Structure 1
Amino acid sequence: IDDQFVPLLGFVSHVAPSYPALTASLPSQIGDALEESADAMAPAVRRAMLQALILLRNRGRVPALQLLQRCFRLFRCRDKAMRARLYSHVISDVKAVNLKHKDVHVNKALQNFVIGMIAESSSVAAQYSLRAMIELYRRHIWRDAKTVNVVASALFCAHPKLRVAALHFLLGAHDDAADIDDDEGGGERVSSLRASLQRDGAQPSRCGKRKQRQLKRAVKSERRKAAPAQQAAASFAAIHLLHDP
């Protein structure tokens, strides 16, 4: 049955935009079935149903807020691969919603929704919800006081891992030093190695390869030196946005 259902679902979700009246209830039917019985389904079926929902969302058949809230609820699913797909969609869709201009309505409603998810009895769902908030802040999509205070509220939740994650966030650990481009770096050592490689030209040689290895090590060293300052600045930015009456 699964072998027949999965391709059929894919076909229906692809042609649904061409028959809006006939398929008006399709997104809610798929979403409700997924929420109610996700753990009882075969992995291929639930992932196909999620993919169908995402496709319908991309075709404008599902409102962004409706599917995003459903995705957060589906973090309760015990399928790790599906949770990863849900997480990826949440980040990309919130980014798309705010691409041209900030969608205040969607942002505010979703942030309020996440507050409830962080208080979830399911620690996995709460962790993924908090992780999504932190990632959206890190990517400057939700870089505002509301996000900081929602994350900070996890300091008082029942799950130890969430308290640790919130604490790391406020200490600046959300801004990874890896954001520094490998091709960039300061310091005299890095500059001199780059200049030497440019003089030698692009021809491969034993000496050139050694200099390239030295350059990589020098860039890593510069990144490690820059990390504390970057994290301190990021930490101050987050803490500065805390509501402290």
Structure 2
Amino acid sequence: MGRKHNNQLPENLPQLQNLIKRDPQSYYEEFMQQYQHLQNTIKVFYFSPQAPNKTLEDLMMFMAQIAHCYPKELKTFPEQVGSILQKYSTILDSNTRMTLCKALVLLRNKNLISPTDILELFFNLLKCQDRPLRKFLENHLITDIKNLNAKHKNDKLNTTLQNYMYMVLGGDTKAAKIALDIMVELYKKNIWNDARTVNVIGKVGCFSKNTKILVGSLKFFLGKDPEEESENSDSENEIDPKEVMMANKVNKKTRKREKQLTKAKKLAAKAYKKKSAAPSFNFSALHLIHDPQGMAEKLFQQLEMTNKRFEVKLMTLDVISRLIGLHNLFLFNFYPYILRFLQPHQREVTRMLQFCAQASHEQLPPDVLEPVLRKMADNFVTERNTSDVIAIGLNAMKEVCARCPLAMTEDLMRTLVDFKTHRERSVIMAARSLIQLFRNIRPEILHKKERGKPTEAMDEIESLNYGKVISSILRMNISRRLVPRVALELSP
């Protein structure tokens, strides 16, 4: 190496960094020059911390890159970087602040700083009005915690991190939203999938005054992934496999068209697999709630007092109804409240009917659900409505009765049976499905001619009484569509 080039080493940080990593001892003197330069630069920086400082940024990244080569000399370097960020976080230049955070991440990746120290600092930085920085910090925290639990779960460290994150969830709005996103993401990755995480989100997130945190917590319990909406919106832009295959047959074959054909086939196979797969719903979080009755009551009380938009009320109703059905809860005020929404012209009426079914279970007193069935019959299952509306009503009543058969009265059942001779096929099928349900679980409510031919299985069916658990009834899939797609608002 020439003398002239060697004299330029202190000014050429990337080259010096490379040489130091190869042979730290040989370039110790050059390192000390840069370290002293950094200390002098920091002293100058204190006079004007808000000004951009490219020299400081370069030196900080340089030291972070070679910190493992001189652990003794740079022992206090992480504390120095953290101190600058802690003291001047809100007034620092955005590029300087991002560079210092990246330097700390490098030090953390080299295990030169503890995860608890960097976690506390980064959560304080989430309050900064800097969206790219917040996104960077969120991604790092998720990745770091994931790596810490890669081989085995570090329960002691997880508890420490969780305790701090729970404190953040109830504090500053921006930091709380990031904390919620991190906990949800770690839950999905099966890292923090314990009851403690779920109950903190339930106790703090679901009752937050901030709408974003409230909605994020409700979506967590509903098992909804925000990425699904973007996938559905992008489906229109996907390549049509049939068009690509036809073009490949007609046009001249080229490498580009072959690649397009291969890609189209993979997309088609993936779409078919996704479409044919049975729908899965994440109820595990709801299973881990310690006090489902208390949570359902508080959510319902919050629902009655809230003036938030209709979509938030829908999500709250969804969570409450799932809690009731999953844990066999008693929340009698829920049913009169939802009756007001059981109108054919009501927005999202099929979801309202679904909530009624989700909130039904065999331990409910029959007289609690009788008004619900009567309301469905009066507003949906009448000749003045269209066939789609009647079919929706019959299918919804069937779903409720599958969970609480005693809610159906003989008079109402005989009225519904008459629709098996309706002119529209969708109504006929819905009525027959309801009749078949009661043939299997409660045939005595049907007229003799509707019970079908007697069989040995029917002889074994015992008469139902309130309080008796019906173990023979198979639970129907609550989340499948009640009817084929119809208009959003159904005219009566």
Provide TM-score, normalisation by structure 1.
Answer: 0.78
Are residue 242 (structure 1) and residue 292 (structure 2) matched? no
Amino acid at match of 1:130: L
For residue 55 of structure 1, what is the aligned residue in structure 2? 106
The Cα of 1:67 is off from its aligned counterpart by 1.2
The Cα of 1:242 is off from its aligned counterpart by 1.3
For residue 200 of structure 2, what is the aligned residue in structure 1? 150
The Cα of 1:113 is off from its aligned counterpart by 0.8
Q: Aligned pair count?
A: 221
What do you get for the CA RMSD once the two structures are aligned? 3.2
| Matched position secondary structure for 2:90 | helix
Distance 1:25 1:79, change over 3 A: same
Larger Rg computed on CA atoms: 2
Amino acid at match of 2:286: I
The Cα of 1:173 is off from its aligned counterpart by 1.0
Q: How does 1:78-157 map to 2 (within 5 A)?
A: 78-120=129-171, 122-152=172-202, 153-157=204-208
Amino acid at match of 1:151: I
The Cα of 1:54 is off from its aligned counterpart by 0.7
Q: Distance in 2 between matches of 1:10 and 1:90?
A: 20
Is the 8 Å Cα contact of residues 117 and 126 (structure 1) preserved in structure 2?
A: yes
Q: Report sequence identity in percent.
A: 31
Provide TM-score, normalisation by structure 2.
Answer: 0.41
The Cα of 1:108 is off from its aligned counterpart by 0.8
Q: How does 1:208-219 map to 2 (within 5 A)?
A: 213=264, 216=267, 219=270
Q: Which ranges of structure 2 fall in alignment gaps of 5 or more residues?
A: 1-51, 232-241, 293-492
| Matched position secondary structure for 1:39 | coil
Amino acid at match of 1:91: I
Q: Distance in 1 between matches of 2:211 and 2:150?
A: 34
Q: Distance in 2 between matches of 1:86 and 1:241?
A: 29
Q: Distance in 2 between matches of 1:66 and 1:173?
A: 33
For residue 71 of structure 1, what is the aligned residue in structure 2? 122
For residue 223 of structure 2, what is the aligned residue in structure 1? 172
Q: Distance in 2 between matches of 1:19 and 1:86?
A: 27
For residue 183 of structure 1, what is the aligned residue in structure 2? none
Please give the per-residue CA displacement for 1:111-148, whole angstroms capped at 9, x wherever unaligned: 1111111111x311111110011011111121211221
Larger RCO: 1 or 2 (CA < 8 Å, sep 6+):
1
Is the 8 Å Cα contact of residues 76 and 125 (structure 1) preserved in structure 2?
A: yes
Q: Distance in 2 between matches of 1:61 and 1:212?
A: 44
Q: Distance in 1 between matches of 2:84 and 2:98?
A: 12
Distance 1:242 1:56, change over 3 A: same
Identify which range, 23-32 or 49-58, moves more after superposition: 23-32
| Matched position secondary structure for 1:23 | coil
Amino acid at match of 1:167: L
